[in-house]
Structure 1
Amino acid sequence: MKYRQLTKEQFLELHQEFAEFLATQQIDAKEWANIKKENPSMAEEELNIFSDVVWEDVLSKTEYLEHISEGHINLFKCQSDLIIRIYIKLKNNNKSFLNTDDFQWFLKNPLNEQFDYFKAEKKYTKERNFELFELIEMGSQISKGGLFNAINQLIG
């Protein structure tokens, strides 16, 4: 397995897609129920294969990631051959990016002296999608890139 198995909630959301995936292997609902009962290791392998297919599809389409914590924001633009990172550090320990009011204040005052910015880019050291997956597993979320692009325009 290349990534990790989808959660139960994710499988429930992708119920129809999973049924279509099984159908491509000539496995109908009755046969799937039998496989789960009679051959749980084969059922587990099918779940793993489907999970990898879904992750690969999602990661291939991912253009931006962001990870927001109390005192830091990491924004990533995920290109085909390199990843661009914008790192924002909050110097004021009395504020938190996780606090809605403080985050709104940051959005209105991004050039305030309470913020340090760092921007860099690097080529992927592993396969692109696997590096993105690792960032997601560490807490990053897929985004549309609005915050990345706004901050990138400010800091050039």
Structure 2
Amino acid sequence: MKYTKLSKEQFEELNEEFAVFLAAQSIDVKEWTKIKAEKPELADKEMEVFSDFVWEKVLSKAGYLEHFSADSLNLFKCGEEAIHRIVVKVNKEGVNLLESKDFEWLLDNSKDPRIEYLKGKKGYSQERNMEIFDLIQKGSVVSDGKLFEAIHSMISAQSN
């Protein structure tokens, strides 16, 4: 298995897609019930293959990731050949970016000298989707990229 097996809740949410996946292998509901009862290891293998299929599809479409902690933001733009990263570090006592009021403070005070902006770019050291999956496993979430692009524009404007 390349990634992790989907949770029971994720399988329930994707039950129609899983049914199509099984149907493509000529496995109907009756056959699937029989496989689960008589060959649980085969059923588990089918679920693993489907999980990898779903992960691959999600990861291939992932363009941006975000990871929030109490005092910093890690924003990623996942290109085909490289990943771009912006780190926003707040060096202000008592700020918790996980709370909306403090996150609003950051947005309203983006030029405060207690806020550091770092940016970088690196090529993937392993397969692109595996690196993105690793970041998700460490707490990042797929995003629409608006925050990355806004901060990137702000940093670029400040350096010009």
User: Quick check: TM above 0.5?
Assistant: yes
**Secondary structure at 2:51's aligned position in 1?**
helix
Q: Which residue of 1 aligns with 2:106?
A: 106
Give me the whole-angstrom Cα distance separating, in 2, the residues matched to 1:59 and 1:2.
Answer: 12
Identity %: 50
Q: Which residue of 2 aligns with 1:45?
A: 45
After TM superposition, the score normalised by the length of structure 1 is: 0.98
The alpha-carbon deviation at position 73 of structure 1 amounts to: 0.5
Counterpart contact for 1:3–1:52, Cα < 8 Å? yes
**Secondary structure at 2:33's aligned position in 1?**
helix
Give me the whole-angstrom Cα distance separating, in 2, the residues matched to 1:5 and 1:17.
Answer: 15
Q: Which residue of 1 aligns with 2:80?
A: 80
Q: Which residue of 1 aligns with 2:65?
A: 65
Give me the whole-angstrom Cα distance separating, in 1, the residues matched to 2:94 and 2:70.
Answer: 10
Give me the whole-angstrom Cα distance separating, in 2, the residues matched to 1:57 and 1:43.
Answer: 21
Q: Does 1:140 align with 2:144?
A: no
Runs (5+) with no aligned partner, structure 1: none
Runs (5+) with no aligned partner, structure 2: none
Give me the whole-angstrom Cα distance separating, in 2, the residues matched to 1:18 and 1:93.
Answer: 49
Q: Which residue of 2 aligns with 1:36?
A: 36
Task: Give the 5 Å matches for 1:95-134.
Answer: 95-134=95-134
Counterpart contact for 1:71–1:93, Cα < 8 Å? no
The alpha-carbon deviation at position 93 of structure 1 amounts to: 2.8
> Runs ≥4 in structure 1, deviation > 3 angstroms?
none
Aligned length: 156
After TM superposition, the score normalised by the length of structure 2 is: 0.96
